Structure 1
Amino acid sequence: MKRVSVDIGGTFTDCVVAWGDQRVESKAPTTHHDLTEGFMEALTAGAEKIDLSVETVLSDVDSVRYGTTLGTNALIERTGERVGLITTKGHEDTIRIGRGRQYGDGLSIEDQADIPGADRPDPIVPSDYRYGIRERVDYKGDVLLEADREEIREVVNSLVDDGVRAIAVVLLNSTVNPVHELLVEEIVNQEYPSNVLGSTPVVLSHRVTGKNGEYMRSNATVINAYLHRIMREGLQDMQSVLRDHGYEKPLQLVHNTSGMAQLGKTYAIQTMHAGPVAGLGAAQQLADELDDENLITTDMGGTSFDIGAVTEGEVSLYEYEPIIDRWLINIPMVYMKTIGAGGGSILGYNSAEDVITVGPESAGSDPGPACYNRGGRRATVTDVDVVLGYLNPDYFWGGELELEERLARRAVRRDIAEPMDVSVEEAAAAARQVVDTKMAQTMFNEISLQGYDPRNFSILSYGGAGPTHACGYAEELDVEKVIVPPFSPVLSAAGAGNLDQMHMYEQSVYLELFDGEGQTYFDDYEQFNDVVATLQDKGRRDLLDEGYSADRIQHTVECDLKYGVQLQTTTARSPVETIDDREDLLRLLKAFRDSYGDNFGDEAHMPSSDINLITIRVQSYVEQPRMEYTSTGDAAALTDGAGTPDTGRSRSCYFGGEFVETPVHRFTEMGTGAVDGPAIVEHPETTIVVNDGWTFDRTPAGVSYLRRQ
């Protein structure tokens, strides 16, 4: 296996190079002005660790896999393209009207509770750029009113005159018959071929999502159009730089469905939050390798703290109506919870409420925390950790970045200590406690709302700052064991290297599989099978286009079902790909009832109610070779010594309400013996803080455990 995987975070760009039996990790500061620079710097550092040039690596590598933040950043900063919307006449204000409590989408729980002060988000497409055309297709796909070509032509010309650079097309019921959306695309291409207008994208909603729901479908389509140019240009630049250095294969992108696809087979919206999802994929593999099937995953990087869960060895929780930024969409995504509590999260003091505040604003990599000495002045979580002695100013990032404790103390004094009228050390300790508590409370809410007790889980801690705080938030949750895996500082990048090639398609349907009143069963099996076959064909064609042979392609089928007129649907994996007889149907209904019982309890079943099928979803995938994270042949096995050498290193660190002289160990010099806290274990790219009452030990393969005594 020869594979490069890169994940770009808000502060650092992480890289993992798998080269035969060698596995190496590297980091570089994220260069937000041009992500390509940080990408190549991290890749160069990784190549140097295996004594190869970047050109040698890129000319011989099997694939380059990339988790990009281009779309996420553009949406946050509102730097996307000017978008025009063409929709069915009378529905121009769908994205403005919204759905239900739209004002609360994407806001914190506290802000959602402030109904009088709540505002709906401003639509990406202002009203001046939203046009309706007279056309109508009914729910069965029958054309009731033909679209008028001249009207479409006039609308397109008006949008171009308005300076629109991307066109989103969302017509009613186009998911079952896209004939009019295709007509709009045809007319745009006729009127404005690429040699006249340039590469102006026309994004058709039925290609983005096969599900009904005009508001969510409109949002998904508009966001894709909004991000298209910046994604295209940024990724083309990346591809060009890679080609200049010898890489001639297609660039592979991480998808937020926990799969991978080539650049040409990727919509912008599929890359949103993809990096953390890759880390969750790595966690699922680790659950199997470590024989620990219930894990709370915690990724604490420089900008955010991402929480996920592996239950019974599986990442089973998808969001089928997720929120991106402030907009509800209907593109399936692996569910993760993100809060602004990373190493670069900015701290402050709210005198009105007498509380220390954490994030969501981050110092990022430029200027970074105050201790980076790059111009940052505001106190961050990293500055607090420096003040408390946990981080070694001379060994941060393996000594590549020297930290200035003086600047960290000055920032903490100005932003927290003086407003609170306490010492710098007391302010830093209080801020760290607030950060750990905030993370623990969010973890408890997420896990308990899924019906689980966090105390029955182990915590998987990764990200550059995660192991520094793991004992703190584990204590708050009363969790007994924390696992720090190999590649923990770059686990999302490592996870990207092991994702399968995958495409997911879904289609809204309405099939009554069981009639509760008449006690009869659905028997038009071909109607179900035809939809499945169509979705499988889409995925198969994508994978064939990407160069995979037909015999390697596999499919899974999922169904969204519900009892009667319930609003809540339940997702069940179908035990059959096609329904050929009553027995197959009963197996599907049993899968629904089992899933429903797991979610709501067996007492909630309604045996006399109808069972309706709402959505059919197909995952088409090709399994990829995987590196083992815990293999002793990997580069993670840094030493094979027995016992823990006495290095003689120590420094003053804050434990138990006071500074105490604390032993400091280098991970690269340690064997497999246990270390009792308080202690510090310094990895080149992270720091593991062992609290008092905890024990640290590690396996020969580099898996570290923190256990409460």
Structure 2
Amino acid sequence: MYLGVDIGGTFTDLVLVDGEGRLTTTKALSTPGELEVGVFDAVRNAAEQIGMTAEELLAKVTAFGHGTTQATNAVIERDGARTGLLATRGFGDTLAIQRLMGFTAGVPVSRLGWYSRRRYPDPIVPRSLVREVRERVDHQGKVLVELDEDGVRTAVRELLDQGVQTFAVAFLWSFRNTDHERRAGAIIREMAPDTYVTLSSDVAPVIGEYERTATAALNSYLAPKVVSYLDGIEQMLRRRGFKGAFSILNSAGGVMPVAEAARRPVTLVTSGPTGGVMGSVHLARRLGYRNLITTDMGGTSFDVAIVVDEKPLMSLNHEAGGFHIATPMIEVRAIGAGGGSIARVVDGQLRVGPDSASAWPGPACYGRGGTEPTVTDADVVLGIIDPETFLGGKMKLDRAAAEKAVRDRIAEPLGLSVEEAAAGIRRIVDAQMADTLREVTIGRGHDPRDFVIFAYGGAGPVHCAGYGAELGVPKMIVPVTSMAHSAYGALAADVQYSRERSMLMRGGGGPRKLSEGLDPCAVGSAFAELEEDCRTAMERAGVAADDVRLLRAADLRYRRQTNDLMISFPAGAVDQAALEELVARFEETYEQTYGKGSAFREAGIELTNVRVEAFGAARRPELKVETSVKEPAAGRRRIFEPVAMQWMETAVYNWRDLPVGFRIDGPAVIEHPETSVFVAAGQYARLDEGANITIEQNVEA
């Protein structure tokens, strides 16, 4: 059996697949402060569904994939370790200065104009815990000033006396010559053998002094909390009978052993949202879709990613807690729009989010003391969510409490009926999500009509009819795993490992071809060494050599620019023709990203980094979901249709009763024990052969 778990802000989701491909999904409430409790609750729920105890189930699980928000939460809440930083003399203020973008990092677009509120982020390493060390390496890796080892010892002793728990070492140009960083790390371990140490040349061996320093500092800042959590959850599973392989989903779309995750916790910063993206990619390949928009609407946030030609768009520099880290990650855009997003009247206007009621106290309808109206409360008032069947009837919702919250806080202040106010909440949050989708598609030069939407998360299937139609996509797909899709991604993802190296080369300029000046021998040698590193890592992870797939890429930009584009590089020999093809793809990608005619060939080109990603194939059985062969009986209930703004008699179907190809015209609701799918007026839905639901616009409407 194979098991995947993803911990969200409100629910912990679980997917279980047995050796025959049979699927079981379930949820349990997340338990902040003791996240492993929520994980075990989800395991116990799954075991009950298949007639086992939790211990019996865990004994049969051979692989456990886990997506976690622990690193993300530590950054947001600023409760990481007390970290000391060693820097080259004269460069101790790198983290404080950041770059010009530092004081806008992580600020929502709608607030960028609030100049008086711009602030540099709270430091992860206070200036009092930074020590400058005498040493210097130049841009070619030549030692100009030898490392002052006595100075390192003095700095380490001072920092230990100040209660430092972990260390980061980030020297100038260390990626060209790692000797000084490695020696400093060795000295730290001699003086404090149990102390966690991060070298910038290990976690981010790329050009960019600030990003490399921030990556190293965040890695050490996160390490104790992440390592403690991973160790705790693994031990909990082992004590209860689990003997299989335990893997952690990273931010680049693959899983890695716990030991590797402990060495590089900074790669887990977007672990949770990445699971849904990879689950969608895996399913899309089976369904024949190459371009997709993944949309994960949970209790607190709406996470979006773009997949083009089966490849998720990657970000080379990712913002986390106001700092930029230099590790490749799937680019996930998030806004505060979820089922728990709170609606308020501000200056006579209705606003929704970004703050959330979270799991506790939760929406008013949860009956846990929450009084603020939320998106989920609005869906209950409208009749889209049935209070009696929520979570398969395991959690009864309080419709009266939802109506009271919406009436008192929204309807009466605005002079609306309760239903009109609830419809307003829903339409506003759908419009906010559609705006985000436009930014990541149209804003990047992509036509939404060339994509299909994958909608998942607890609230995604409830709302995709709204934000998908407003965006104008031709088709929306609600996966059969939608209620725990990120957990499915953690289960289905391949083992992944990546290595990169900076090697600044300049080509072209003026009348010369852009590829002139790029050295194929140096590029080929770098790729060969990185590939060997990746194969070794795959071997450590227990992946057979025949199951390893290597992908190359290079980062390029026009000369004197500051932002790179990552361009794929073919396997095989590296010669001048291969470099010319690389440059041609860069120019094509550049104009696709920034607009036709934006390329500036006369400036010349710079190749800044080369990268290799290794994937070890995860051999999981294909999903086999039984579907009905009989025409289903439809229930009926009245729903206040939020676009038509009127009460309508609506068909209600059970997802598990639907036969393949059965057409459902909206408005309609398709219920599942863990979610509900809303089909709006003017749309229709069908069940495909994999038991996924496809929603399309009715052209006859």
TM-score (norm 1): 0.93
Partner of 1:337: 333
SS at match of 2:669: strand
- The answer to whether 1:346 aligns with 2:333 is no
- Distance in structure 1 (CA, Å) of the matches to 2:187 and 2:308: 50
TM superposition shift of 1:567? 3.5
- The answer to whether 1:301 aligns with 2:301 is no
Change (3 A) 1:593 1:442: closer
SS at match of 1:80: coil
Change (3 A) 1:430 1:191: same
Q: Which moved more, 1:396-405 or 1:471-480?
A: 471-480
- Distance in structure 2 (CA, Å) of the matches to 1:403 and 1:343: 14
TM superposition shift of 1:141? 1.2
Change (3 A) 1:345 1:607: closer
Q: Is the 8 A contact 1:557 1:577 kept in 2?
A: no
What amino acid is the match of 1:16?
V
Offset from partner CA, 1:459-478 (integer Å, 9 cap, x none): 22111111111111123223
TM superposition shift of 1:244? 0.3
What amino acid is the match of 1:503?
Y
The 5-angstrom pairing of residues 288-437 of structure 1 reads 288-312=285-309, 314-351=310-347, 354-437=348-431
Partner of 1:20: 19
Partner of 1:6: 5
Q: Is the 8 A contact 1:576 1:584 kept in 2?
A: no
Q: Is the 8 A contact 1:639 1:700 kept in 2?
A: no
Q: Is the 8 A contact 2:62 2:243 kept in 1?
A: no
Change (3 A) 1:299 1:99: same
TM superposition shift of 1:604? 4.6
Partner of 2:267: 270
Q: Is the 8 A contact 2:520 2:576 kept in 1?
A: no
Q: 1:663 aligns with which of 639, 651, 662?
A: 651
Partner of 1:260: 255
Partner of 1:193: 193
Q: Which moved more, 1:392-401 or 1:18-27?
A: 18-27
Change (3 A) 1:594 1:475: closer
Partner of 2:549: 554
- Distance in structure 1 (CA, Å) of the matches to 2:294 and 2:79: 32
Partner of 1:279: 276
What amino acid is the match of 1:670?
L
Offset from partner CA, 1:140-188 (integer Å, 9 cap, x none): 1111111122111111111011111111111111111121211222112
TM superposition shift of 1:123? 1.4
Q: Which moved more, 1:540-549 or 1:494-503?
A: 540-549
Q: Is the 8 A contact 2:207 2:608 kept in 1?
A: no
SS at match of 2:282: helix
Q: 2:212 aligns with which of 190, 214, 217?
A: 217
Q: 2:197 aligns with which of 202, 210, 219?
A: 202
Offset from partner CA, 1:276-305 (integer Å, 9 cap, x none): 212111222332222233322211111111
What amino acid is the match of 2:227?
R
Partner of 1:171: 171
Q: Is the 8 A contact 1:137 1:144 kept in 2?
A: yes
TM superposition shift of 1:219? 1.3
- Distance in structure 2 (CA, Å) of the matches to 1:608 and 1:102: 31
Change (3 A) 1:486 1:206: same
Q: Is the 8 A contact 1:517 1:609 kept in 2?
A: no
- The answer to whether 1:702 aligns with 2:696 is no
Q: Give the gaps of 5 or more residues in structure 1.
A: 195-199
Change (3 A) 1:145 1:10: same
Offset from partner CA, 1:228-287 (integer Å, 9 cap, x none): 111111111101101101223442000110111001112211111222212111222332
TM superposition shift of 1:425? 2.1
Partner of 2:93: 93
- Distance in structure 2 (CA, Å) of the matches to 1:139 and 1:268: 28
What amino acid is the match of 1:685?
E
Change (3 A) 1:515 1:417: closer
- Distance in structure 1 (CA, Å) of the matches to 2:345 and 2:595: 44
Partner of 1:622: 616
Change (3 A) 1:412 1:600: closer
- Distance in structure 2 (CA, Å) of the matches to 1:706 and 1:517: 53
- Distance in structure 1 (CA, Å) of the matches to 2:519 and 2:691: 55
The 5-angstrom pairing of residues 615-654 of structure 1 reads 615-629=609-623, 634-635=624-625, 637-641=626-630, 643-647=631-635, 649-654=636-641
Change (3 A) 1:363 1:123: same
Offset from partner CA, 1:194-246 (integer Å, 9 cap, x none): 3xxxxx21111111111121111111111111111111111111011011012
- Distance in structure 2 (CA, Å) of the matches to 1:120 and 1:315: 34
Q: Is the 8 A contact 1:280 1:315 kept in 2?
A: no
The 5-angstrom pairing of residues 23-172 of structure 1 reads 23-172=23-172
Q: Is the 8 A contact 2:61 2:243 kept in 1?
A: no
SS at match of 1:497: helix
Q: Is the 8 A contact 2:666 2:682 kept in 1?
A: yes
Q: 1:688 aligns with which of 673, 677, 683?
A: 677
Partner of 2:477: 483
CA-based RMSD of the aligned residues comes to 2.0
- Distance in structure 2 (CA, Å) of the matches to 1:134 and 1:424: 68
Q: Is the 8 A contact 2:215 2:325 kept in 1?
A: yes
SS at match of 1:212: coil
Q: Is the 8 A contact 1:65 1:497 kept in 2?
A: yes
Identity %: 35
TM superposition shift of 1:517? 5.0
TM superposition shift of 1:674? 1.7
What amino acid is the match of 1:117?
R
Partner of 2:497: 503
Q: Is the 8 A contact 1:136 1:172 kept in 2?
A: yes
What amino acid is the match of 1:315?
K
Q: Is the 8 A contact 2:7 2:69 kept in 1?
A: yes
- The answer to whether 1:565 aligns with 2:560 is yes
Q: Which moved more, 1:562-571 or 1:690-699?
A: 562-571
What amino acid is the match of 2:15?
V
- Distance in structure 1 (CA, Å) of the matches to 2:191 and 2:239: 36
What amino acid is the match of 2:226?
M
What amino acid is the match of 1:502?
Q
- Distance in structure 2 (CA, Å) of the matches to 1:401 and 1:10: 17
What amino acid is the match of 1:5?
G
- Distance in structure 1 (CA, Å) of the matches to 2:443 and 2:368: 41
- Distance in structure 2 (CA, Å) of the matches to 1:696 and 1:303: 27
TM superposition shift of 1:122? 2.1
TM superposition shift of 1:400? 0.8
Change (3 A) 1:605 1:341: closer
Q: Is the 8 A contact 2:3 2:61 kept in 1?
A: yes
What amino acid is the match of 2:490?
A
What amino acid is the match of 2:528?
A
- Distance in structure 2 (CA, Å) of the matches to 1:686 and 1:179: 55
SS at match of 2:589: helix
- Distance in structure 2 (CA, Å) of the matches to 1:238 and 1:525: 47
Partner of 1:461: 455
Offset from partner CA, 1:51-105 (integer Å, 9 cap, x none): 3333333233221100011111121111111111111111111111110131111
What amino acid is the match of 1:699?
D
Offset from partner CA, 1:632-674 (integer Å, 9 cap, x none): xx13x34232x33244x42444452222332222222233422
Partner of 1:197: none
TM superposition shift of 1:622? 1.3
SS at match of 1:660: strand
- Distance in structure 1 (CA, Å) of the matches to 2:547 and 2:117: 54
